[in-house]
Structure 1
Amino acid sequence: MIRNKWLLLTYKVPSEPATKRVALWRKIKASGAIYVQNGVCMLPMSDEIVRRLKILENDISEMGGESVLLETAALDAAQEEKVVARFRADRDEHYREFLGECAKFEKEIAKEISIEKFTYAELEEEDGELRKLQDWLDKIGKLDFYGASLADEARARLKTCEELLDGYAKRVFEANEQAREFDSDDQDGVRDGRRP
């Protein structure tokens, strides 16, 4: 039984200026669309996506191009599964890239621990990197219309990164607390005449 309906956007824009054509392509890809072929893309049917595509349709017109926006459905269940599989494959590609960045984050934390670089500045920098990963996964998830196969792995990997940063933060706090205690003891020694 066919359950899904899609929006099909077909468009043709002038080849120059190339920057406008590339900017349009990026906007379409950023919306989670799959390309059936050059100038023909699909997105799941929803009011929000209709609004987005209407805006893109206006952009295409302003570029001197032309477009047609259609509602479509698969002919049969096999065709529907092909389309859904394309959406999942596109999202898995993004999840793979995300997982690669998680691996880099994990290596960076391991490096900072190995060299005992327990500074607040480094913690702040790593916290910023983790927030970027969190935002990125959130964006991918919003475009994962059909539950790509790597979604669970990506969420688990982000949780691992969060736990690593928590562990690193504890070491930073401990190292800085010990430094303050040492400085305090050192100052007490000077005041008591124990140190010159």
Structure 2
Amino acid sequence: MYVRMKKIIWLLLTYKVPAEPSAKRIAIWRRLKSMGAVYLQNGVCVLPRTDDHIRRLKILENDIAQASGESVILETVALDAGQEEKVIARFKAERDEAYAEFIDKCDDFEREVAKEITAAHYSYAELEENDVDLKKLQGWIEKIAKLDFYGAAQAEEARRRLKGCERVLDDYARRVFDARGEDG
């Protein structure tokens, strides 16, 4: 028999805002998604209970009221281990989607650098452009990881792929420096 030592406490937000103007409704949705909230259904979402999430939801509660909407924030726990696992699975699935998209962008990055190598296009401008793209990937994975509250399955693969992108760019940089007759 599975015995839980400690229940996970979540913050449950229920809200409704007028359909128009849609920009306000979309802004609320974006803010919740940027916090890592998982929607259980329309206007009902959960987040792990943290002081930061409490603070941000209280601010959002005020914004919902300003948009002529209404909301309630509750602390909640799952009824049993099975229900808790369902919610955790939703969090993991959303992060896995984000990691999968990230991995696709790593593929794009590696193809772009390979194209430059195949064309023997070794310029500082191209190196700088690829460096900017790598920094975007690094920032993106940090954002995903910050919202990966329960350890999504794709996390390790995404980190491994980022390391591969870093190696690809290091190799390309050496080729640019060699082509220009400089030490890297």
TM (normalized to structure 2)? 0.95
Counterpart CA distance in 2 for 1:131 and 1:3 is 38
Structure 1 residue aligned with 2:104:
100
Q: Map residues 1-196 of structure 1 onto 2, 5 A cutoff.
A: 1=4, 2-177=6-181
**Cα deviation per residue 1:35-81 (whole Å; 9 max; x = unaligned)?**
00000000000001111111111110110100000000001111101
In structure 2, stretches of 5+ residues that fail to align are: none
In structure 1, stretches of 5+ residues that fail to align are: 179-196
Counterpart CA distance in 2 for 1:109 and 1:53 is 42
Indicate the percent of aligned positions where both proteins have the same amino acid: 62
- Greater Rg by CA: 1
Residue 20 (structure 1) shift: 1.1
RMSD: 0.8
Residue 23 (structure 1) shift: 1.1
Task: Kindly report structure 1 stretches of 4+ aligned residues shifted beyond 6 Å.
Answer: none
Greater share of helix: 1
Counterpart CA distance in 2 for 1:141 and 1:130 is 17
Aligned length: 178
Counterpart CA distance in 1 for 2:129 and 2:13 is 41
Counterpart CA distance in 1 for 2:93 and 2:7 is 19
Counterpart CA distance in 2 for 1:8 and 1:131 is 35
**Cα deviation per residue 1:4-25 (whole Å; 9 max; x = unaligned)?**
1100000010110011111111
1:102 is matched by which residue type in structure 2?
A: C
SS at match of 2:89: helix
Counterpart CA distance in 2 for 1:97 and 1:177 is 38
Residue 3 (structure 1) shift: 2.4
2:76 is matched by which residue type in structure 1?
A: T
Structure 2 residue aligned with 1:190:
none
Counterpart CA distance in 2 for 1:102 and 1:66 is 41
Residue 97 (structure 1) shift: 0.5
